[in-house]
Structure 1
Amino acid sequence: MRILFATDGSQGSAVALDLLLSLPHRPEDRIDVVSVPVHRYVGAGVEGTGVFIAEVVEAEIADATRAAAGAVARLQARGVAGESRVAEGPAAEAILAAAGALGSDLIVVGSRGHGRIAGALLGSTARALARHSPVPVLVVRERREAPRRILVAADGSPDSRAAVAALASMPLVDHAEITLLYVARESMPPNMPEGQFADELRAAIERNERMDALETLRQAAGILPSCVTVRLETERGPAADRILEVAGAKGADLIVLGSRGTTLGTGFLQGSTADRVLGGAHCAVLVARAPVPVGDRPEPSALAASAG
Protein backbone atom coordinates (compact mmCIF):
# COMPACT_ATOMS: atom_id res chain seq x y z
CA MET A 1 0.00 0.00 0.00
CA ARG A 2 1.27 3.49 -0.85
CA ILE A 3 0.26 6.04 1.78
CA LEU A 4 0.58 9.82 1.55
CA PHE A 5 1.04 11.52 4.92
CA ALA A 6 0.27 15.24 4.81
CA THR A 7 1.97 17.18 7.60
CA ASP A 8 2.22 20.79 8.73
CA GLY A 9 4.56 20.08 11.64
CA SER A 10 1.79 20.63 14.19
CA GLN A 11 0.81 18.51 17.18
CA GLY A 12 -2.11 17.10 15.20
CA SER A 13 0.27 15.95 12.48
CA ALA A 14 2.61 14.46 15.10
CA VAL A 15 -0.26 12.35 16.46
CA ALA A 16 -1.08 11.12 12.95
CA LEU A 17 2.56 10.22 12.34
CA ASP A 18 2.73 8.31 15.63
CA LEU A 19 -0.29 6.27 14.55
CA LEU A 20 1.31 5.56 11.17
CA LEU A 21 4.53 4.42 12.84
CA SER A 22 2.57 2.05 15.09
CA LEU A 23 1.01 0.14 12.19
CA PRO A 24 2.46 -3.30 11.36
CA HIS A 25 3.99 -2.27 8.06
CA ARG A 26 4.60 -4.87 5.37
CA PRO A 27 7.64 -4.91 3.07
CA GLU A 28 5.58 -3.60 0.16
CA ASP A 29 4.16 -0.64 2.12
CA ARG A 30 5.47 2.85 1.36
CA ILE A 31 4.72 6.16 3.08
CA ASP A 32 5.41 9.42 1.26
CA VAL A 33 5.25 12.78 3.02
CA VAL A 34 3.96 16.10 1.70
CA SER A 35 3.89 19.48 3.41
CA VAL A 36 2.12 22.58 2.11
CA PRO A 37 3.39 26.03 3.17
CA VAL A 38 0.72 28.66 3.68
CA HIS A 39 1.86 32.06 2.45
CA ARG A 40 0.36 34.89 4.43
CA TYR A 41 -0.17 38.46 3.29
CA VAL A 42 1.94 40.85 5.34
CA GLY A 43 1.73 44.62 5.23
CA ALA A 44 -0.11 46.65 2.64
CA GLY A 45 0.69 47.35 -0.96
CA VAL A 46 -0.77 49.62 -3.58
CA GLU A 47 -4.45 50.35 -2.99
CA GLY A 48 -4.46 48.16 0.12
CA THR A 49 -3.44 44.94 -1.64
CA GLY A 50 -1.42 42.63 0.61
CA VAL A 51 2.15 41.92 -0.39
CA PHE A 52 4.32 38.93 0.38
CA ILE A 53 7.45 39.56 2.41
CA ALA A 54 10.23 37.48 0.88
CA GLU A 55 11.75 36.56 4.23
CA VAL A 56 8.41 35.32 5.57
CA VAL A 57 7.76 33.23 2.46
CA GLU A 58 11.21 31.69 2.67
CA ALA A 59 10.67 30.88 6.35
CA GLU A 60 7.32 29.24 5.61
CA ILE A 61 8.83 27.10 2.86
CA ALA A 62 11.72 26.18 5.16
CA ASP A 63 9.24 25.15 7.88
CA ALA A 64 7.34 22.97 5.43
CA THR A 65 10.56 21.40 4.17
CA ARG A 66 11.70 20.59 7.71
CA ALA A 67 8.30 19.15 8.62
CA ALA A 68 8.33 16.80 5.62
CA ALA A 69 11.98 15.81 6.00
CA GLY A 70 11.58 15.18 9.73
CA ALA A 71 8.62 12.87 9.14
CA VAL A 72 10.48 10.92 6.44
CA ALA A 73 13.47 10.53 8.75
CA ARG A 74 11.27 9.00 11.46
CA LEU A 75 9.67 6.66 8.95
CA GLN A 76 12.99 5.57 7.48
CA ALA A 77 14.31 4.91 10.98
CA ARG A 78 11.51 2.35 11.26
CA GLY A 79 12.43 0.81 7.93
CA VAL A 80 9.54 2.34 5.97
CA ALA A 81 10.44 3.63 2.50
CA GLY A 82 9.12 6.92 1.16
CA GLU A 83 9.97 10.35 -0.15
CA SER A 84 9.22 13.90 0.95
CA ARG A 85 8.06 16.89 -1.04
CA VAL A 86 6.81 20.42 -0.51
CA ALA A 87 3.71 21.26 -2.54
CA GLU A 88 2.58 24.80 -3.30
CA GLY A 89 -1.01 25.97 -3.56
CA PRO A 90 -4.26 25.68 -1.59
CA ALA A 91 -3.79 22.84 0.87
CA ALA A 92 -6.48 20.38 -0.24
CA GLU A 93 -5.68 20.86 -3.93
CA ALA A 94 -1.94 20.50 -3.34
CA ILE A 95 -2.36 17.34 -1.27
CA LEU A 96 -4.66 15.74 -3.85
CA ALA A 97 -2.28 16.68 -6.65
CA ALA A 98 0.60 15.04 -4.77
CA ALA A 99 -1.51 11.93 -4.15
CA GLY A 100 -2.30 11.70 -7.85
CA ALA A 101 1.32 12.18 -8.91
CA LEU A 102 2.58 9.56 -6.45
CA GLY A 103 -0.19 7.04 -7.09
CA SER A 104 -1.21 7.06 -3.43
CA ASP A 105 -3.76 4.54 -2.15
CA LEU A 106 -4.53 6.43 1.07
CA ILE A 107 -4.12 9.98 2.42
CA VAL A 108 -3.47 10.44 6.14
CA VAL A 109 -3.89 13.80 7.90
CA GLY A 110 -4.17 15.11 11.42
CA SER A 111 -7.52 16.61 12.31
CA ARG A 112 -6.11 20.07 12.98
CA GLY A 113 -2.94 22.09 12.50
CA HIS A 114 -1.36 25.18 13.93
CA GLY A 115 1.89 27.11 13.96
CA ARG A 116 3.64 29.20 11.33
CA ILE A 117 2.38 26.98 8.52
CA ALA A 118 -1.03 26.66 10.17
CA GLY A 119 -4.01 26.29 7.92
CA ALA A 120 -2.45 23.56 5.80
CA LEU A 121 -4.25 20.86 7.74
CA LEU A 122 -6.96 22.70 9.61
CA GLY A 123 -10.22 20.87 10.16
CA SER A 124 -11.78 22.50 7.11
CA THR A 125 -9.05 21.14 4.86
CA ALA A 126 -9.40 17.66 6.32
CA ARG A 127 -13.12 17.86 5.61
CA ALA A 128 -12.48 19.02 2.04
CA LEU A 129 -10.18 16.05 1.49
CA ALA A 130 -12.73 13.64 2.97
CA ARG A 131 -15.47 15.04 0.73
CA HIS A 132 -13.60 15.17 -2.55
CA SER A 133 -10.57 12.88 -2.53
CA PRO A 134 -10.74 10.09 -5.12
CA VAL A 135 -8.65 7.95 -2.74
CA PRO A 136 -9.57 7.12 0.88
CA VAL A 137 -8.71 9.67 3.57
CA LEU A 138 -7.81 8.82 7.17
CA VAL A 139 -8.30 11.74 9.58
CA VAL A 140 -6.43 11.03 12.83
CA ARG A 141 -7.36 12.48 16.18
CA GLU A 142 -5.96 11.90 19.65
CA ARG A 143 -4.98 8.24 19.61
CA ARG A 144 -1.37 7.57 18.66
CA GLU A 145 -1.53 3.78 18.38
CA ALA A 146 -2.67 1.38 15.67
CA PRO A 147 -6.46 0.90 15.85
CA ARG A 148 -7.64 -2.27 17.57
CA ARG A 149 -11.38 -1.60 17.91
CA ILE A 150 -12.81 -0.60 14.55
CA LEU A 151 -16.40 0.28 13.65
CA VAL A 152 -17.33 -0.03 9.97
CA ALA A 153 -20.63 1.47 8.82
CA ALA A 154 -21.65 -0.74 5.89
CA ASP A 155 -24.72 -0.34 3.69
CA GLY A 156 -23.70 -2.13 0.49
CA SER A 157 -23.41 1.07 -1.57
CA PRO A 158 -20.40 1.58 -3.88
CA ASP A 159 -18.81 4.06 -1.47
CA SER A 160 -19.38 1.74 1.47
CA ARG A 161 -17.76 -1.15 -0.39
CA ALA A 162 -14.82 1.12 -1.23
CA ALA A 163 -14.45 1.96 2.47
CA VAL A 164 -14.41 -1.71 3.48
CA ALA A 165 -11.87 -2.46 0.74
CA ALA A 166 -9.68 0.43 1.92
CA LEU A 167 -9.68 -0.92 5.46
CA ALA A 168 -8.90 -4.43 4.22
CA SER A 169 -5.86 -3.15 2.31
CA MET A 170 -4.41 -1.31 5.32
CA PRO A 171 -1.78 -2.90 7.56
CA LEU A 172 -3.90 -4.04 10.53
CA VAL A 173 -2.83 -5.51 13.85
CA ASP A 174 -3.65 -9.17 14.41
CA HIS A 175 -6.90 -9.85 16.24
CA ALA A 176 -8.22 -6.34 15.74
CA GLU A 177 -11.92 -6.28 16.65
CA ILE A 178 -14.04 -5.07 13.74
CA THR A 179 -17.75 -4.37 14.15
CA LEU A 180 -19.70 -4.16 10.91
CA LEU A 181 -22.74 -1.96 11.51
CA TYR A 182 -25.82 -1.56 9.34
CA VAL A 183 -28.21 1.27 10.24
CA ALA A 184 -31.75 0.77 8.92
CA ARG A 185 -34.20 3.56 8.25
CA GLU A 186 -35.95 5.12 11.19
CA SER A 187 -39.55 5.02 9.98
CA MET A 188 -41.84 2.84 7.92
CA PRO A 189 -42.99 3.78 4.40
CA PRO A 190 -45.64 6.54 4.25
CA ASN A 191 -49.38 5.76 4.16
CA MET A 192 -49.05 2.65 6.31
CA PRO A 193 -52.50 1.35 7.39
CA GLU A 194 -53.51 1.13 11.04
CA GLY A 195 -54.49 -1.89 13.14
CA GLN A 196 -53.35 -5.50 13.43
CA PHE A 197 -52.66 -5.83 9.72
CA ALA A 198 -50.37 -2.79 9.91
CA ASP A 199 -48.47 -4.33 12.82
CA GLU A 200 -47.99 -7.58 10.92
CA LEU A 201 -46.90 -5.71 7.79
CA ARG A 202 -44.47 -3.61 9.79
CA ALA A 203 -42.98 -6.72 11.40
CA ALA A 204 -42.61 -8.38 7.99
CA ILE A 205 -40.88 -5.31 6.55
CA GLU A 206 -38.48 -5.19 9.49
CA ARG A 207 -37.69 -8.91 9.13
CA ASN A 208 -36.91 -8.47 5.44
CA GLU A 209 -34.80 -5.40 6.17
CA ARG A 210 -32.82 -7.30 8.79
CA MET A 211 -32.23 -10.22 6.41
CA ASP A 212 -31.01 -7.81 3.72
CA ALA A 213 -28.84 -6.01 6.27
CA LEU A 214 -27.20 -9.22 7.49
CA GLU A 215 -26.48 -10.31 3.92
CA THR A 216 -24.87 -6.94 3.24
CA LEU A 217 -22.74 -7.29 6.37
CA ARG A 218 -21.72 -10.85 5.49
CA GLN A 219 -20.55 -9.69 2.08
CA ALA A 220 -18.52 -6.93 3.72
CA ALA A 221 -17.03 -9.42 6.20
CA GLY A 222 -15.85 -11.56 3.30
CA ILE A 223 -13.56 -8.74 2.14
CA LEU A 224 -11.74 -8.38 5.46
CA PRO A 225 -8.49 -10.24 6.23
CA SER A 226 -8.55 -13.43 8.28
CA CYS A 227 -6.32 -11.95 11.00
CA VAL A 228 -9.17 -9.86 12.46
CA THR A 229 -12.26 -10.67 14.53
CA VAL A 230 -15.55 -9.60 12.96
CA ARG A 231 -18.94 -8.96 14.56
CA LEU A 232 -22.17 -8.05 12.76
CA GLU A 233 -24.68 -5.60 14.22
CA THR A 234 -27.77 -3.76 13.04
CA GLU A 235 -29.33 -0.59 14.40
CA ARG A 236 -32.27 1.59 13.48
CA GLY A 237 -32.48 5.37 13.50
CA PRO A 238 -30.54 8.43 12.28
CA ALA A 239 -27.37 7.06 10.73
CA ALA A 240 -24.81 9.52 12.12
CA ASP A 241 -26.28 9.36 15.63
CA ARG A 242 -26.26 5.57 15.70
CA ILE A 243 -22.74 5.31 14.28
CA LEU A 244 -21.37 7.71 16.89
CA GLU A 245 -23.32 6.05 19.71
CA VAL A 246 -22.09 2.56 18.83
CA ALA A 247 -18.54 3.83 18.37
CA GLY A 248 -18.65 5.40 21.82
CA ALA A 249 -20.18 2.35 23.48
CA LYS A 250 -17.54 0.05 22.00
CA GLY A 251 -14.63 2.40 22.61
CA ALA A 252 -13.83 2.40 18.90
CA ASP A 253 -10.51 3.95 17.94
CA LEU A 254 -11.39 4.04 14.23
CA ILE A 255 -14.65 4.60 12.33
CA VAL A 256 -14.81 3.58 8.67
CA LEU A 257 -17.56 4.70 6.28
CA GLY A 258 -18.33 5.67 2.72
CA SER A 259 -18.70 9.30 1.80
CA ARG A 260 -22.15 8.63 0.34
CA GLY A 261 -24.56 5.72 0.23
CA THR A 262 -28.10 4.42 0.29
CA THR A 263 -30.08 2.02 2.41
CA LEU A 264 -33.33 0.66 1.02
CA GLY A 265 -33.93 3.86 -0.90
CA THR A 266 -33.61 6.16 2.10
CA GLY A 267 -30.04 7.46 1.87
CA PHE A 268 -28.10 5.91 4.77
CA LEU A 269 -24.58 7.26 4.38
CA GLN A 270 -25.17 10.44 2.46
CA GLY A 271 -22.51 13.10 2.49
CA SER A 272 -24.15 14.91 5.40
CA THR A 273 -23.86 11.74 7.51
CA ALA A 274 -20.17 11.37 6.73
CA ASP A 275 -19.66 15.05 7.59
CA ARG A 276 -21.46 14.64 10.92
CA VAL A 277 -19.47 11.56 11.83
CA LEU A 278 -16.22 13.25 10.87
CA GLY A 279 -17.12 16.29 12.96
CA GLY A 280 -18.52 14.41 15.96
CA ALA A 281 -16.18 11.44 16.33
CA HIS A 282 -13.62 11.33 19.13
CA CYS A 283 -11.44 8.87 17.24
CA ALA A 284 -9.86 8.53 13.82
CA VAL A 285 -12.21 8.38 10.82
CA LEU A 286 -11.54 6.71 7.47
CA VAL A 287 -13.74 8.00 4.64
CA ALA A 288 -13.74 6.49 1.15
CA ARG A 289 -15.66 6.83 -2.06
CA ALA A 290 -16.03 4.61 -5.09
CA PRO A 291 -13.73 5.39 -8.04
CA VAL A 292 -14.78 8.61 -9.76
CA PRO A 293 -14.36 9.08 -13.53
CA VAL A 294 -11.85 11.81 -14.30
CA GLY A 295 -14.50 14.00 -15.93
CA ASP A 296 -16.66 13.87 -12.80
CA ARG A 297 -13.96 14.91 -10.33
CA PRO A 298 -14.41 18.26 -8.56
CA GLU A 299 -12.94 21.46 -9.93
CA PRO A 300 -10.35 23.25 -7.77
CA SER A 301 -12.98 25.89 -6.96
CA ALA A 302 -15.15 23.22 -5.33
CA LEU A 303 -12.26 22.13 -3.12
CA ALA A 304 -11.54 25.72 -2.16
CA ALA A 305 -15.18 26.27 -1.24
CA SER A 306 -15.22 23.14 0.93
CA ALA A 307 -12.05 24.17 2.72
CA GLY A 308 -13.16 27.72 3.25
Structure 2
Amino acid sequence: MNGPVVVGVDGSSSSMAAVEVAAREARLRDVRLRLVHAFSWPAAHVPPGRPWEPSGAGLRELIDGTLAEAERRACQRAPGIEVVREVVVGEPVTVLQIESCTASLVVVGSRGLSRFGALLLGSTAGHLAAHAACPVLVVRGRPNPAGPVLLAVDGSPAAHGAVEFAFAQASLHGKDLIALHAWPTRSERTYDAPSDPPFVTYDEDRLRDEEQRVLAEALGGLGEKFPDVTVHRRLVRGRIRHSLIEASAEAGIVVVGARGRGGFTGLLLGSVSQAVLHHAHCQVAVVRTGAV
Protein backbone atom coordinates (compact mmCIF):
# COMPACT_ATOMS: atom_id res chain seq x y z
CA MET A 1 0.00 0.00 0.00
CA ASN A 2 1.24 3.51 -0.88
CA GLY A 3 -0.93 5.28 1.67
CA PRO A 4 0.48 7.93 3.99
CA VAL A 5 2.22 7.37 7.28
CA VAL A 6 -0.26 8.59 9.90
CA VAL A 7 0.87 9.79 13.32
CA GLY A 8 -1.30 10.75 16.28
CA VAL A 9 -0.35 14.18 17.68
CA ASP A 10 -1.47 15.56 21.05
CA GLY A 11 1.46 17.80 21.98
CA SER A 12 3.02 15.46 24.52
CA SER A 13 6.73 14.70 24.36
CA SER A 14 5.83 11.11 23.54
CA SER A 15 3.73 12.09 20.54
CA MET A 16 6.44 14.47 19.31
CA ALA A 17 8.93 11.60 19.46
CA ALA A 18 6.43 9.59 17.42
CA VAL A 19 6.25 12.42 14.87
CA GLU A 20 10.02 12.28 14.33
CA VAL A 21 9.95 8.50 13.87
CA ALA A 22 6.95 8.76 11.55
CA ALA A 23 8.69 11.41 9.45
CA ARG A 24 11.62 9.13 8.79
CA GLU A 25 9.31 6.24 7.95
CA ALA A 26 7.43 8.44 5.47
CA ARG A 27 10.64 9.54 3.78
CA LEU A 28 11.91 5.97 3.44
CA ARG A 29 8.56 4.87 1.99
CA ASP A 30 8.34 7.98 -0.23
CA VAL A 31 4.82 8.79 0.97
CA ARG A 32 3.09 11.72 2.68
CA LEU A 33 3.18 12.22 6.42
CA ARG A 34 -0.25 12.85 7.88
CA LEU A 35 -0.33 14.61 11.28
CA VAL A 36 -3.66 13.84 12.95
CA HIS A 37 -5.04 15.46 16.07
CA ALA A 38 -8.26 13.85 17.33
CA PHE A 39 -10.59 16.21 19.11
CA SER A 40 -13.67 15.17 21.11
CA TRP A 41 -16.38 17.80 20.82
CA PRO A 42 -19.67 16.28 22.05
CA ALA A 43 -21.71 19.44 21.52
CA ALA A 44 -20.76 19.59 17.85
CA HIS A 45 -22.63 16.39 16.95
CA VAL A 46 -20.24 15.82 14.07
CA PRO A 47 -19.76 12.22 12.86
CA PRO A 48 -16.30 10.72 13.55
CA GLY A 49 -13.84 11.29 10.73
CA ARG A 50 -15.20 14.69 9.69
CA PRO A 51 -12.82 17.70 9.57
CA TRP A 52 -13.25 20.01 12.54
CA GLU A 53 -13.98 23.75 12.31
CA PRO A 54 -13.48 25.20 15.80
CA SER A 55 -15.32 28.31 16.89
CA GLY A 56 -12.96 29.14 19.75
CA ALA A 57 -9.97 31.11 18.48
CA GLY A 58 -7.91 30.33 21.57
CA LEU A 59 -8.43 26.61 21.17
CA ARG A 60 -7.68 26.85 17.46
CA GLU A 61 -4.40 28.64 18.18
CA LEU A 62 -3.43 26.02 20.74
CA ILE A 63 -4.04 23.10 18.38
CA ASP A 64 -2.59 24.90 15.35
CA GLY A 65 0.51 25.65 17.41
CA THR A 66 0.84 22.00 18.39
CA LEU A 67 0.54 20.84 14.79
CA ALA A 68 2.93 23.55 13.59
CA GLU A 69 5.55 22.35 16.07
CA ALA A 70 4.95 18.77 14.97
CA GLU A 71 5.43 19.75 11.33
CA ARG A 72 8.61 21.67 12.17
CA ARG A 73 10.07 18.61 13.88
CA ALA A 74 9.01 16.35 11.04
CA CYS A 75 10.64 18.52 8.38
CA GLN A 76 13.76 18.87 10.48
CA ARG A 77 14.03 15.09 10.82
CA ALA A 78 13.14 14.33 7.19
CA PRO A 79 13.68 17.39 4.96
CA GLY A 80 11.64 17.48 1.79
CA ILE A 81 8.75 15.24 2.86
CA GLU A 82 5.17 16.25 2.16
CA VAL A 83 3.29 16.95 5.38
CA VAL A 84 -0.48 17.20 5.78
CA ARG A 85 -2.15 18.44 8.99
CA GLU A 86 -5.59 17.29 10.04
CA VAL A 87 -7.78 17.99 13.07
CA VAL A 88 -10.60 15.44 13.21
CA VAL A 89 -13.65 15.16 15.45
CA GLY A 90 -13.83 11.95 17.45
CA GLU A 91 -12.17 9.78 20.05
CA PRO A 92 -8.50 9.14 19.20
CA VAL A 93 -8.96 5.37 19.07
CA THR A 94 -11.82 5.64 16.58
CA VAL A 95 -10.17 8.35 14.48
CA LEU A 96 -6.86 6.52 14.14
CA GLN A 97 -8.59 3.22 13.35
CA ILE A 98 -10.44 4.94 10.51
CA GLU A 99 -7.18 6.54 9.34
CA SER A 100 -5.52 3.09 9.28
CA CYS A 101 -7.84 1.98 6.47
CA THR A 102 -6.00 4.19 3.99
CA ALA A 103 -2.56 4.36 5.66
CA SER A 104 0.55 2.28 5.08
CA LEU A 105 1.56 2.71 8.74
CA VAL A 106 0.10 4.29 11.89
CA VAL A 107 2.57 5.62 14.47
CA VAL A 108 1.70 6.48 18.08
CA GLY A 109 3.65 7.35 21.20
CA SER A 110 3.63 5.24 24.33
CA ARG A 111 2.14 8.00 26.49
CA GLY A 112 -0.10 10.95 25.82
CA LEU A 113 -2.03 13.86 27.28
CA SER A 114 -5.57 13.96 28.60
CA ARG A 115 -8.04 11.72 26.76
CA PHE A 116 -5.71 11.19 23.84
CA GLY A 117 -3.42 8.85 25.71
CA ALA A 118 -3.40 8.99 29.47
CA LEU A 119 -3.73 5.21 29.46
CA LEU A 120 -2.37 4.68 25.98
CA LEU A 121 -1.13 1.13 26.25
CA GLY A 122 -4.42 0.09 27.79
CA SER A 123 -6.54 1.89 25.21
CA THR A 124 -5.23 3.62 22.09
CA ALA A 125 -2.15 1.54 21.28
CA GLY A 126 -3.65 -1.73 22.44
CA HIS A 127 -6.88 -1.16 20.54
CA LEU A 128 -5.08 -0.12 17.36
CA ALA A 129 -2.73 -3.10 17.55
CA ALA A 130 -5.75 -5.39 17.68
CA HIS A 131 -8.00 -3.64 15.15
CA ALA A 132 -6.00 -1.41 12.78
CA ALA A 133 -6.13 -2.17 9.08
CA CYS A 134 -2.39 -1.51 8.68
CA PRO A 135 0.73 -2.10 10.80
CA VAL A 136 0.95 -0.05 14.01
CA LEU A 137 4.27 1.29 15.30
CA VAL A 138 4.43 2.23 19.00
CA VAL A 139 7.38 4.48 19.86
CA ARG A 140 8.72 3.55 23.28
CA GLY A 141 11.87 2.66 25.17
CA ARG A 142 15.41 3.60 24.20
CA PRO A 143 16.05 1.83 20.90
CA ASN A 144 19.57 1.15 19.73
CA PRO A 145 19.92 3.35 16.59
CA ALA A 146 22.27 0.81 15.06
CA GLY A 147 20.28 -2.16 16.32
CA PRO A 148 18.74 -4.80 14.06
CA VAL A 149 15.10 -5.53 13.37
CA LEU A 150 13.98 -8.20 15.84
CA LEU A 151 11.21 -10.51 14.60
CA ALA A 152 9.16 -12.81 16.80
CA VAL A 153 8.56 -16.04 14.88
CA ASP A 154 5.83 -18.40 16.06
CA GLY A 155 5.13 -20.25 12.80
CA SER A 156 1.41 -19.46 12.72
CA PRO A 157 -0.27 -18.46 9.43
CA ALA A 158 -1.57 -15.35 11.21
CA ALA A 159 2.01 -14.13 11.72
CA HIS A 160 3.00 -14.12 8.03
CA GLY A 161 2.23 -10.40 7.73
CA ALA A 162 4.59 -9.65 10.61
CA VAL A 163 7.37 -11.65 8.95
CA GLU A 164 6.97 -9.78 5.65
CA PHE A 165 6.79 -6.41 7.42
CA ALA A 166 10.00 -7.18 9.34
CA PHE A 167 11.86 -8.04 6.13
CA ALA A 168 10.59 -4.86 4.46
CA GLN A 169 11.55 -2.77 7.50
CA ALA A 170 15.06 -4.22 7.56
CA SER A 171 15.42 -3.52 3.85
CA LEU A 172 14.18 0.08 4.15
CA HIS A 173 16.51 0.88 7.04
CA GLY A 174 19.50 -1.13 5.84
CA LYS A 175 19.47 -3.28 8.99
CA ASP A 176 20.08 -6.93 9.73
CA LEU A 177 17.10 -9.06 10.71
CA ILE A 178 17.13 -11.33 13.75
CA ALA A 179 14.40 -13.96 13.49
CA LEU A 180 13.87 -15.24 17.01
CA HIS A 181 11.92 -18.41 17.72
CA ALA A 182 11.65 -19.63 21.30
CA TRP A 183 10.99 -23.25 22.16
CA PRO A 184 9.90 -24.35 25.61
CA THR A 185 11.87 -26.11 28.28
CA ARG A 186 10.93 -29.61 29.40
CA SER A 187 9.01 -28.25 32.35
CA GLU A 188 6.96 -26.02 30.06
CA ARG A 189 5.91 -28.50 27.39
CA THR A 190 5.99 -32.11 26.37
CA TYR A 191 6.27 -32.52 22.64
CA ASP A 192 3.53 -34.54 21.05
CA ALA A 193 2.80 -35.05 17.40
CA PRO A 194 -0.66 -36.18 16.20
CA SER A 195 0.47 -39.81 16.24
CA ASP A 196 2.01 -39.66 19.71
CA PRO A 197 0.19 -41.24 22.67
CA PRO A 198 -0.65 -39.03 25.67
CA PHE A 199 2.26 -40.48 27.66
CA VAL A 200 4.87 -39.72 24.96
CA THR A 201 8.44 -39.45 26.22
CA TYR A 202 10.03 -36.04 25.86
CA ASP A 203 12.53 -36.09 22.99
CA GLU A 204 14.69 -32.96 23.04
CA ASP A 205 16.44 -33.64 19.73
CA ARG A 206 13.16 -34.28 18.01
CA LEU A 207 11.65 -31.10 19.44
CA ARG A 208 14.66 -29.01 18.38
CA ASP A 209 14.46 -30.37 14.84
CA GLU A 210 10.75 -29.54 14.72
CA GLU A 211 11.28 -25.99 15.97
CA GLN A 212 14.09 -25.44 13.45
CA ARG A 213 11.68 -26.53 10.72
CA VAL A 214 9.04 -24.08 12.00
CA LEU A 215 11.56 -21.24 11.89
CA ALA A 216 12.79 -22.14 8.40
CA GLU A 217 9.27 -22.44 6.99
CA ALA A 218 8.19 -19.11 8.50
CA LEU A 219 11.01 -17.32 6.67
CA GLY A 220 10.72 -19.32 3.46
CA GLY A 221 10.75 -17.32 0.23
CA LEU A 222 11.27 -13.89 1.78
CA GLY A 223 15.04 -14.14 1.60
CA GLU A 224 14.72 -14.20 -2.19
CA LYS A 225 12.25 -11.29 -2.16
CA PHE A 226 14.59 -9.19 0.03
CA PRO A 227 18.11 -10.31 -1.01
CA ASP A 228 19.67 -7.23 0.61
CA VAL A 229 18.60 -8.31 4.10
CA THR A 230 21.02 -10.35 6.19
CA VAL A 231 19.04 -12.78 8.32
CA HIS A 232 20.24 -14.28 11.59
CA ARG A 233 18.13 -17.19 12.80
CA ARG A 234 18.03 -17.45 16.56
CA LEU A 235 16.50 -20.51 18.19
CA VAL A 236 16.32 -20.06 21.95
CA ARG A 237 15.04 -22.30 24.69
CA GLY A 238 12.72 -20.51 27.06
CA ARG A 239 9.62 -18.39 27.29
CA ILE A 240 9.01 -16.25 24.20
CA ARG A 241 7.92 -13.15 26.13
CA HIS A 242 11.03 -13.09 28.31
CA SER A 243 13.29 -13.90 25.35
CA LEU A 244 11.86 -11.11 23.20
CA ILE A 245 11.94 -8.46 25.90
CA GLU A 246 15.52 -9.36 26.77
CA ALA A 247 16.61 -9.31 23.10
CA SER A 248 14.83 -5.98 22.49
CA ALA A 249 17.47 -4.20 24.60
CA GLU A 250 19.88 -4.39 21.65
CA ALA A 251 17.30 -3.92 18.87
CA GLY A 252 16.05 -0.90 16.97
CA ILE A 253 12.54 -2.30 16.64
CA VAL A 254 10.74 -5.53 17.52
CA VAL A 255 8.03 -6.86 15.20
CA VAL A 256 5.25 -9.13 16.43
CA GLY A 257 1.99 -10.48 15.07
CA ALA A 258 -1.25 -9.41 16.72
CA ARG A 259 -2.12 -12.96 17.62
CA GLY A 260 -0.12 -16.18 17.43
CA ARG A 261 -0.89 -19.85 17.67
CA GLY A 262 -2.36 -21.34 20.79
CA GLY A 263 -4.57 -18.36 21.69
CA PHE A 264 -8.32 -18.03 21.96
CA THR A 265 -9.93 -17.08 18.65
CA GLY A 266 -11.68 -14.14 20.26
CA LEU A 267 -8.49 -12.70 21.75
CA LEU A 268 -7.41 -10.18 19.14
CA LEU A 269 -4.18 -9.18 20.86
CA GLY A 270 -2.17 -12.09 22.19
CA SER A 271 -0.30 -12.21 25.48
CA VAL A 272 3.10 -12.01 23.77
CA SER A 273 2.10 -8.87 21.84
CA GLN A 274 0.71 -7.26 24.99
CA ALA A 275 3.83 -8.07 27.01
CA VAL A 276 6.12 -6.64 24.34
CA LEU A 277 4.01 -3.48 24.01
CA HIS A 278 4.35 -2.85 27.73
CA HIS A 279 7.92 -3.96 28.41
CA ALA A 280 10.09 -3.85 25.27
CA HIS A 281 13.19 -1.64 25.39
CA CYS A 282 12.65 -0.35 21.85
CA GLN A 283 9.95 0.53 19.31
CA VAL A 284 7.29 -2.13 18.73
CA ALA A 285 5.46 -2.86 15.49
CA VAL A 286 2.31 -4.99 15.70
CA VAL A 287 1.03 -6.43 12.44
CA ARG A 288 -2.39 -8.04 12.07
CA THR A 289 -3.17 -10.71 9.49
CA GLY A 290 -3.71 -9.03 6.12
CA ALA A 291 -2.44 -5.66 7.35
CA VAL A 292 0.61 -5.60 5.03
Q: Same fold (TM over 0.5)?
A: yes
The count of residues paired between Structure 1 and Structure 2 equals 263
Aligned pairs for 1:33-112 (under 5 A) are 33-38=35-40, 59-60=58-59, 62-76=61-75, 78-100=79-101, 103-112=102-111
Q: Deviations over 1:158-193 (max 9, x none)?
A: 33211122334447322x122101123441147435
Among 4, 7, 13, the residue aligned to 1:11: 13
**Structure 1: segments with no counterpart, 5+ residues:** 42-54, 293-308
1:135 deviates by 1.1
| Structure 1 residue 97: Cα displacement | 1.6
Correspondence for 2:279: 280
Asked if 1:25 corresponds to 2:24, the answer is: no
Contact 2:41-2:90 within 8 A present in 1 as well: no
Q: Which residue matches 1:173?
A: 173
Cα offset for 1:31? 1.4
- Asked whether 1:120 is paired with 2:116, we answer yes
Aligned-pair identity (%):
27
What is aligned with 1:228? 229
Q: Distance in 2 between matches of 1:27 and 1:217?
A: 25
C-alpha spacing 1:235/1:141, structure 2 compared with 1 (3 Å): same
RMSD across aligned positions (CA): 3.3
Output the TM-score relative to the length of structure 2: 0.76
* CA distance in structure 1 between the partners assigned to 2:143 and 2:86 by the alignment: 24
Indicate the SS of the match to 1:119. helix
- Rounded to whole Å, the distance in 1 between the matches of 2:82 and 2:216 is 40
SS in structure 1 of the partner of residue 27 of structure 2: coil
Distance 1:160 1:104 in 2: 20
Give the whole-Å Cα distance in 2 for the aligned partners of 1:228 and 1:9: 36
Unmatched 5+ residue regions in structure 2? 44-53, 193-197
Deviation at 1:13, TM superposition (A): 1.0
TM-score if structure 1 supplies the norm length?
0.73
Change (3 A) 1:266 1:112: closer
- Compared with structure 1, are the counterparts of its residues 146 and 226 closer, same or farther at alpha carbon in structure 2 (3 Å cutoff)? farther
Q: Residues 102-251 of structure 1: matches in 2 within 5 Å?
A: 103-114=102-113, 118-122=114-118, 123=120, 124-143=123-142, 148-170=147-169, 172-174=172-174, 176-185=175-184, 186-189=188-191, 191-193=198-200, 198=201, 202-219=203-220, 221-222=222-223, 225-248=226-249, 251=250
Q: Return the offset for 1:283.
A: 1.2
Residues 279 and 245 of structure 1: CA distance in aligned 2, closer, same or farther (over 3 Å): same
* Whole-Å separation in 2 of the counterparts to 1:9 and 1:220: 42
